[in-house]
Amino acid sequence: MSFDWSGGGLAEGLKCYRSGEYFLAHEHWEGVWLTREEPEKTFLQALIQIAAAFHHLRRENRVGAASLLRSALRKLAPYASDFGGIAVDSLRETSTAWLAALDAGEKSPQLPVPTIR
């Protein structure tokens, strides 16, 4: 399965995510998510939760961010290393590192934001 990341809500959301506008990314992707069926629906929900987690981190809601990352990782678990044109393994790895840092109480983890590519 492959999503079309070149236009519409997916592309707009990706552009927002990459520029650090996590809430807007969430909004664009949610519009697409509402129209999808499984397994695409759950996959998009995981991306939305990752974007929302980083929105929460910006607002210093570390508990909310950790909860969203934990949920997103559960949703991503059954997907192959590449799904919908997204490198899922690297997304999982970076999200897992962020979750571990948050769970360990690190104040300013020196980690890259998970890349959606």
What are the boundaries of each domain within the chain?
A: 8-103
Average pLDDT, the chain: 95
User: Domain 8-103 sits in which CATH superfamily?
Assistant: TTHA0068-like (1.10.3450.10)
Contact 68, 49 (CB under 8 A): yes
Whole-number Å distance between alpha carbons of 48 and 72: 8
Residue-wise pLDDT for 48-98, tens only, equals 999 999 999 999 999 999 999 999 999 999 999 999 999 999 999 999 999
What single DSSP character describes residue 100? H
Is the CB of residue 113 less than 8 Å from the CB of residue 89?
no
Q: Which residues contact 34 (CB under 8 A, 6 or more apart)?
A: none
Look at residue 63 in the predicted model and tell me its pLDDT: 96
pLDDT score, position 117: 86
**Which H helix or E strand runs over 40?**
helix 40-58
